[in-house]
Structure formats: structure tokens, C-alpha cells
Structure 1
Amino acid sequence: MTSRTTAEDDAPTSRHRPLLVLGKITEILDAFSLTRPELTLGEIQQATGIPTSTVQRLVSNMVAEGMLDRSGERVRVGVRMAYWAAAAAKGVDVLTLVNPILREIRDATGETACLFREEQGYRVCVAVAETRHALRREMFVGKIMPLHAGSAGRVLLAWNPPLADAVLSGPLEPFTDATVTSPDVLRGLVAQTRRDGFAITTAERDDGASGLAAPVFDPASDLVGALAISGPTIRMPRPRCEELVDLLVAHAEQLTRTLGGRHPS
């Protein structure tokens, strides 16, 4: 018996077509980031590889539905999306969302990934994915460290001016020869962190240890915490830390967007 193939068999069914369209819509939304909140149609096409005519059609439909907002020749993620994102994040423990991201960072870099929050004038590790290397920095959930030493502390100070003022008004204890103990110098470094969107430090709290950190924000643009990568300086010299900045910042943006958050304007 021979099988018959009809034009109807070859044609995409309505059951499959929406999945293809949703995939393209997702690619378009993923093209936007906190560092590139507005894009032209050409930039969207370059970022996604979707044909220009399809980009034009989908963007027009997404603008009509409020998924994107148009301003002249540029578009951005629509304000309506914030309502959906806030509903999605409502009642969800941040740690439930951050742990898979920490594991992604650990697996991509081979180093320990953590999330730090400020608690009572200190920085506290609230989530961690430890490196599989035998040589590692000691890190565990609940570990308490100073705010004025290390990249995560610098990020927590950079987006919390009252906290920075309080920390910088008191004595800054030295932990190593590289610890910044001058309030004026540290204030400048904190300001630089805010301008850069990340911080890199070496041997400020522990000799032979390096780290880099980036901020995570909630829907009110308040700081959720500092996402950080840390490890021995022998594996993470300054050039290696600089190579990891884009990866770290991208994951911090991913977590911010998952929480429905937005970067302070």
C-alpha cells in the first residue's frame, strides 16, 4: 500500500503556526535589554535574524497590542508588559528565580556565583552556586561580610545612597593591604560603580581573591541585591574578570526582567 500525501498534509496546521509566531515574538522581546531599551526596526532585524518584512509586520501588531511602544522610528518594550511581569512575579520567592541563574553562571564560568543583600549594615550571602574547583573562596548562605570591601558591597552602596552615607561616615576597617580605607576614595569608586553598572575588586577582603558584581532591581526600581562571581585571583586576574562582565551583567538583567524590574532612570 502506498501512502498519499496531500497539500493539506504538507501545509502547517493552525496548531503549529502560533508556536512559530510566538517564537519570533520572543526573539524580538529578547532583543531589548536594560542597556538597549530602544531599538529601530533595522536593529531588531540584525539582533534576531528575522526577515525585515516579518519584523515590520510583527512589530506593528505588537505595538497595536501594547506589547511594544513606538516613539518615532524607535520602539521599546510596552508599559503594558510591566503589568504582566508584576503579576508573574507576585508571590514568587526571589530565591526560587535566582538559584537557576546562579547555576548557569557557575557552569558557564567555573566559578562561584552568589546573590548578596544588605542586612543591618552588612552584606549577606542569600544564595550561592559553588564552584566545583577544589581551590575556592569559602562561601555559604548566611555568610556576613563588610559593605566597604569587595565588589558586591560596592554595588549595594552604589544604588543605596543613604546606606553609602552611613557606611562612609564611619571608620573603614582594613582587611588587606588593598582594602580601601579612605571615605573620599571609596565614595569615588562607588560613584564609578553606578556609572559603569558593575564593580570589579581584587584582594580587598581576602588576599588572593577577586570578584565582580552587578545590580538586580525590582518593579519599583529598588535594589534587590548584588549578583556576583568570585574566585581565587590565580584563576580570576583582572583581565579575566573584565572578560566576565558582559556575562554577569546579562544575567543580572535577566533576573531583573524576570522579576518585572526596571533599571532606575
Structure 2
Amino acid sequence: MSATNSVVSAFRVLEAVAEMQPVGLSELGRAVGLPKSSVQRALLTLHEVGWLRPTSTQPTRWSLTYRAFSVGSQARDHQFFRETAMPFLNDLQLTTTETIHLTALDGRELVLIERLDTSHPLRAFLPLGSRIPLHASASGLAFLAASGEGFLADCLTGRLAPRTDQTITDPDTLRETIEKVRRRGYSVNPEGLSKGITAIGAAIVDAQGEPIGSVSVSGPSIRIAPETFETFGKAVRETVQRIHAAL
């Protein structure tokens, strides 16, 4: 295996551990599609340089160390983006009393970079760093609605994997949904990402009008019901406008 291939394999293993931790060798091999010997080498190398830690029990399972957090927190653009947005996210939570998510684009997915938790015992929950599909989430639908045709067409090419039985996976239906989002300025995603959870989102755009992230309000569908959609939608839309002005 060449040095380049080894590095690529190590990153694939690292990302798979981040999504599946704690995870064992066999599961990782199936997830990344590499021989066990290659996965084992990558695990040992990542452990040696301080990125992964094994359990002390058998069979061995692997998890990230805090080095990943330390390096990730140095992403300056996202740090500035988050710090600028925080006062407005706090205001949004006071208005809605539900969980607030701030996401930023990474490739063809959104990454959760901030979460403000509600005090309600029954609530939506996604770990920080979660990767969120564009077509299956309120944040993603809002982002797609603010995107140009080239990006949108690229995202709708290929299979759109369902996350629940309510996920929109038909490209034509998704385009119709995106047009509705554009007209009203916010998205509504009833249980498309997580069963029992409804979210309402809006995209944050930069000075050139390009989307750079999204804000969403998420909570149990028994609380975020149709009668709240317009009120919460307007609140989210106003929040992203305020963030845009501050940026």
C-alpha cells in the first residue's frame, strides 16, 4: 500500500470511529470496506499519534481521544461563525423554548457546530459534530433552498437515503418542497431526520448570497405541531437575518 493510500485509509478509519464509537475491528472493516489487516494498521497508527484510544476490555473497541476535539475547535471560520451567531441563537431559544441547532456545510453534508438544549425533559438531541444529510433535515432543506442550481442538482443526483419513513427521497418531490421553502423563507421537516421529532430551519447566507450554514428549532412533534410552524418559522427566519447582518 502506498503512503498516500495509507493516509486515505487512516482518515477513513478515523471518520468511521467518530461515527460508530466505541467500535470493534470487524465492524470497522465492514464500514470502510478495507481488509482487517489494513484497518488494524490504521488503528494502531492513530493510537500511536494520540487520536484513538482502545478499551481495556476484550474484544477491543476504539474511540476518539480529545485530540480530535482540540484540533477541530481550531477551525477558525466556524469558530467566528459560531461566536457571532450565539447571541441570536440564545434569543431564539428564549422565544421558542426548544432545542436550537447551528450547522455549517462540510462537503455535501451539514455538521452540527452548536446546540442549545431546551429545559423540557422530552427533547430533540443530536451530538455536536453530527453529520446531517441535506435532503433529510430542516437545516438541509433550508440550505438547499438557498443554494444555486448547480449545487442543488449535484445533491439530487444519485440515491437519497431515507433516515425515517418520512424522509423525502424522491428528487421531484424534494424540488417541490424546496420551492415551498424558498417562497416562505423557512423549512418544515416533520420526522424526516428522527422519528417523533419535527424541525423548522432557515439558511444563513454570506454577503454574496451564498448559504454558509443553517439554524433550526427542533423538538417533539407533539409540541412542534402545525399550529406552531408559522410562528417558529418567522422566528428562525428573523434569527438568520440578524446573524447575516452581524457577519
TM-score by length of 2: 0.64
Following superposition, the deviation at residue 229 of structure 1 comes to 0.6
Structure 2 stretches lacking a partner, 5+ long: 1-76
Is residue 255 from structure 1 mapped to residue 246 from structure 2 by the alignment? no
Following superposition, the deviation at residue 243 of structure 1 comes to 2.0
How far apart in 2 are the matches of 1:229 and 1:172? Answer: 23
How far apart in 2 are the matches of 1:241 and 1:116? Answer: 20
For the residue of structure 2 that corresponds to 1:127, the secondary structure is strand
Conservation of the 8 A alpha-carbon contact between 2:143 and 2:202 = no
Is residue 124 from structure 1 mapped to residue 124 from structure 2 by the alignment? no
Give aligned-pair identity as a percent. Answer: 27
Is residue 172 from structure 1 mapped to residue 160 from structure 2 by the alignment? yes
How far apart in 2 are the matches of 1:222 and 1:174? Answer: 27
Q: What's the CA shift string for 1:32-61, capped at 9, x where partnerless?
A: xxxxxxxxxxxxxxxxxxxxxxxxxxxxxx
Partner residue of 1:243?
231
Partner residue of 1:80?
none
1:163 to 133, 137, 151: 151
1:103 to 86, 90, 111: 90
Q: What's the CA shift string for 1:109-149, capped at 9, x where partnerless?
A: 11011111221211111122111112111123211121111
For the residue of structure 1 that corresponds to 2:88, the secondary structure is helix
How far apart in 2 are the matches of 1:128 and 1:205? Answer: 16
Q: How many equivalent pairs are there?
A: 169
TM-score by length of 1: 0.60
How far apart in 2 are the matches of 1:218 and 1:146? Answer: 21
AA aligned to 2:246 is T
AA aligned to 1:233 is S
The ranges of structure 1 where at least 4 consecutive aligned residues each deviate by more than 6 angstroms after the TM superposition are none
Matches within 5 A, 1:213-228: 213-228=201-216
Partner residue of 2:218?
230
How far apart in 2 are the matches of 1:162 and 1:219? Answer: 19
Partner residue of 1:137?
124
For the residue of structure 1 that corresponds to 2:165, the secondary structure is coil
Conservation of the 8 A alpha-carbon contact between 1:147 and 1:156 = yes
For the residue of structure 2 that corresponds to 1:95, the secondary structure is helix
Following superposition, the deviation at residue 198 of structure 1 comes to 1.0
Structure 1 stretches lacking a partner, 5+ long: 1-89, 260-265
AA aligned to 2:146 is W
For the residue of structure 2 that corresponds to 1:175, the secondary structure is coil
How far apart in 1 are the matches of 2:210 and 2:193? Answer: 26
AA aligned to 1:149 is A
Conservation of the 8 A alpha-carbon contact between 1:125 and 1:143 = yes
Conservation of the 8 A alpha-carbon contact between 1:211 and 1:241 = no
Matches within 5 A, 1:1-265: 93-160=80-147, 161-259=149-247
How far apart in 2 are the matches of 1:101 and 1:140? Answer: 21
Conservation of the 8 A alpha-carbon contact between 1:202 and 1:238 = no
AA aligned to 1:188 is E
